[in-house]
Amino acid sequence: LLDHQQRETVFLFINFLLSKKTVNKSNNKHVLLNTSVWNENDIQSIEQVQKDMSKWTIKTL
């Protein structure tokens, strides 16, 4: 069994994990735009590269 301090630590850790799970993609973009020098055009460029990379095919040997 866990003592009180250990239970509190586990509880806080679980809450931390759950809070990360609820963050959505648009919120991430909003946070990035507010905390960096990137602008909307920079974000669009990265998103376009992501789309292009997802079209790549992997050649197997």
pLDDT tens digits, the chain, 61 residues: what are they?
A: 788 999 999 999 988 888 776 556 666 777 766 776 777 888 899 899 999 988 888 777 7
Could you tell me if residue 42 is inside a domain? yes
Question: What is the tally of structural domains in the chain?
Answer: 1
Closest CA to 29 of 12, 50, 13: 50
Q: Quick one: pLDDT at residue 24? A: 61
What single letter denotes the amino acid at residue 1? L
Could you tell me if residue 38 is inside a domain? yes
Could you tell me if residue 1 is inside a domain? no
- pTM value is 0.37
Closest CA to 42 of 31, 34, 33: 33
